[in-house]
Amino acid sequence: MKILTILAGLSVLAAASAQAADGAKLYAEKTCVACHGKGANKPLQPNYPKLAGQNSAYAEQQMKDIKSGARSNGQTAAMKGVMHLVSDAEIKILAEYIAKLKP
């Protein structure tokens, strides 16, 4: 029983580590880095948001709203061109990734 508990714990750690790697990979692949900066804290333009440390649920909803067109204010036109390439599962991973970055 003790071995199963240890294996379950290792499985959770491996999944969390893989998700963090997936988040970093997606952040680069989906071109987030181009506008929001490598660490999501130095945007290309001063009016683009700093994403590092943002609440993951909020970030996820904003990305979904931009993708669906529910949000169309501010700088969303630039993101709209990219968000159709990002699945809802990838949005969740990206939101969780940027939430863990240091502002």
- Tens digit of each residue's pLDDT (9 = 90 or more) over 28-53: 999 999 999 999 999 999 999 999 99
Instruction: Select from 51, 48, 54, 78 the least CA-distant residue to 66.
Output: 78
User: Looking at the chain, how many residues does it have?
Assistant: 103
Fold of 2-99: Cytochrome Bc1 Complex; Chain D, domain 2 (1.10.760)
**pTM attached to this predicted model:** 0.79
Distance CA 15, CA 54 (A): 22
Confidence of residue 74 (pLDDT cuts 50, 70, 90): confident
Domain limits, the chain? 2-99
Mean pLDDT of 14-25: 64
pLDDT value of position 15: 43
